Structure 1
């Protein structure tokens, strides 16, 4: 309980401490200094993410980093076990990334500002027209070189089986024609969800798989086929209890 209290206090105090950095981010954006802005945001956000995981007692083990392309944007597709998935990926992939996020997060002060500068796309799943626009915006961002992360289960599994992947998420790949980078997260739910939302030390394994490019070679591949193929690749790195639907 003490660790949980300390973690949340640190979370909010650190947000306040680095809030002046948003002024620099705004300055860089207004001056059109995109490269400098991206480097600045990546440094601040990844450092913050690693600190949050470390303070929680998380020990992150990354495998398959050789599969990360260094000369092209990717759509990072991951399973979603818990709340710590975002800082785990943000602090350990070594990539400047944005997330496809639910629109409700946009209402959170400061967090929403940082996410906007990171290039995150906010999606309202209850509004079909807005959801379609978010997909189009995301595909456009990918074409322009932005790396995006999507959790196609649409909710946290909390250590349960890997859920069905919603095919709509894969329109980001079929419309932009960027490669899909499958990422498997295992153990993140043990840091919070497995303990009645109490922050608890745990080992987390992040496994990066070979990029999927079949949709780049065959335009006839459907979003559902991509969803099934990507899910199978991600689930293949999970322990047996979290594979079956």
Structure 2
């Protein structure tokens, strides 16, 4: 329990402590200095996320980093076991990235501001029209060179199981014509969800698979894409 209390105190104190960086990021955006804005935003967010994971006592093992393209944007497609998936991916995968996140995160002050600067988009899965708008917005970010992360299960599994992928969850990769990079996260549910949301140390394994090209796919290949990616991730969880 002490670790959990300490973690949440640190979580908010860190956010307050980096307010000068946020002021600078806001100013860079106003001045149109996009490259420096993006560099500082990603650097600050990665450092914060990495610190949160370390404070939780979590060790992270990553395999397949060489599979991440160094040039151009990609759509990272990952399973979703627990709340720590976002800070783990943000803090331990070098390529800058934004997330397709649940709309409830907009209620969190400071966090929503940093996420917006990262180019995250917020989806209300109960509103089909809004969801389609968000997919188009995310596809635009991909075309602009910003990599994105999506959890196509739609919610946390809170276990080792892998849920079904939501229909159309990978359409934004097809819209933007960018590669899909599958990711298997194994063990993150043990940090919180397994313990009644009490934070405990755990070991998490991240496996990054070879990118899948989406440009030029036939209609049939496009329809088969979600299940193809799901099988790759499922295989990674069985290792």
Partner residue, 1:226: 225
Partner Cα distance (1:28, 1:187) in 2: 38
- Partner Cα separation in structure 2 for residue 224 and residue 238 of structure 1: 23
Structure 1 SS opposite 2:100: strand
Aligned-partner Cα distance in 2 for 1:21–1:83: 25
| 1:167 and 1:224 in contact (8 A); partners too | no
* Alpha-carbon distance in 2 for matches of 1:98, 1:221: 29
What is the match of residue 85 of structure 1? Answer: 85
Query: Which residue matches 1:43?
Result: 43
Give runs of aligned pairs for residues 1-245 of structure 1, distance below 5 A: 1-213=1-213, 215-221=214-220, 223-239=222-238
Contact 1:59/1:202, CA 8 A, preserved across alignment: yes
Q: Distance in 2 between matches of 1:89 and 1:36?
A: 22
Mind listing any 5+ residue stretches in structure 1 that lack a counterpart? 241-245
State how far apart, in whole Å, the 2-side matches of 1:146 and 1:60 are: 24
Q: Deviations over 1:89-127 (max 9, x none)?
A: 001110111000111111210000000000001111122
What TM-score results when the alignment is normalised by the length of structure 1? 0.95
SS, match of residue 205 in structure 1: strand
Q: Is the 8 A contact 2:160 2:186 kept in 1?
A: no
Paired with 2:31 and 2:40, the residues of 1 have a C-alpha distance of 14
Q: 1:222 to 1:125 in 2, by over 3 A?
A: farther
Deviations 1:14-71 (A, max 9, x none): 1111123211111000111111011101110000001000000000001000100011
Deviation above 4 Å: which 4+ runs of structure 1? none
> 1:130 & 1:194 partners in 2: Cα distance?
32
Residue 179 of structure 1 deviates from its aligned partner by 0.3
| CA displacement 1:190-222 (0-9 Å, x = unmatched) | 111111111111100000001111x32323245
Aligned length in residues: 239
How many Å separate the matches in 1 of 2:62 and 2:142?
A: 24
**Residue 243 (structure 1) aligns with:** none
Distance across 2 between alignment mates of 1:150 and 1:192: 21
- Report the secondary structure of 2:170's partner residue: helix
User: What CA distance in whole angstroms lies between the structure 2 residues aligned with 1:103 and 1:218?
Assistant: 31
Question: 3-state SS of the aligned residue for 2:9?
Answer: helix
